[in-house]
């Protein structure tokens, strides 16, 4: 049992009078093994072109009719949206003109 006021090794501070501070230990870092280099085969443009053609054959293209209908619907929605935004712009413009006339009077 330690007496009060007596410094024992367990309660002695690192910077006790008359003692130099203990040097800080560097953090332990585990060595990470380098990843092995993966050897890739050289680029072959003929093989690449053949693979591109194979992938292109898998594509399901839309019919002319489906493309036409979709285009007409997009045009229709753009016309509706532009008309709506034009109407909102006109209403807000009239409101601003009214407010500016009130501010001048």
pTM: 0.45
pLDDT digits (tens, 9 = 90+) for 3-58: 565 555 555 555 556 666 777 777 777 777 777 788 888 889 999 999 999 999 99
Please report the pLDDT score of residue 10 as a whole number. Answer: 55
Question: E strands of 1-105, at which residues?
Answer: none
Please report the pLDDT score of residue 94 as a whole number. Answer: 97
SS3 content of the chain, % helix, strand, coil (to 5): 50, 0, 50
Alpha carbons 58 and 67: distance in angstroms, whole number: 19
Please report the pLDDT score of residue 61 as a whole number. Answer: 87
Task: Evaluate if residue 72 carries a pLDDT over 70.
Answer: yes
Alpha carbons 74 and 77: distance in angstroms, whole number: 5
Domain residue ranges of the chain, discontinuous segments joined by +: 47-104
């Amino acid at each position: 049992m330690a007496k009060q006021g007596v410094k024992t090794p367990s309660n002695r501070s690192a910077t006790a009078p008359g003692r130099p501070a203990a040097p800080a230990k560097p953090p332990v870092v585990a060595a990470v093994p380098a990843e092995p280099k993966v050897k890739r085969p050289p680029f072959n443009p003929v093989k690449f072109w053949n693979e591109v053609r194979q992938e292109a054959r898998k594509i399901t293209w839309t019919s002319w009719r489906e493309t036409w209908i979709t285009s007409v619907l997009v045009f229709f929605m753009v016309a509706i949206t532009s008309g709506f935004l034009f109407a909102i712009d006109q209403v807000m413009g009239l409101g601003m003109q009214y407010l500016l006339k009130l501010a001048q009077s």
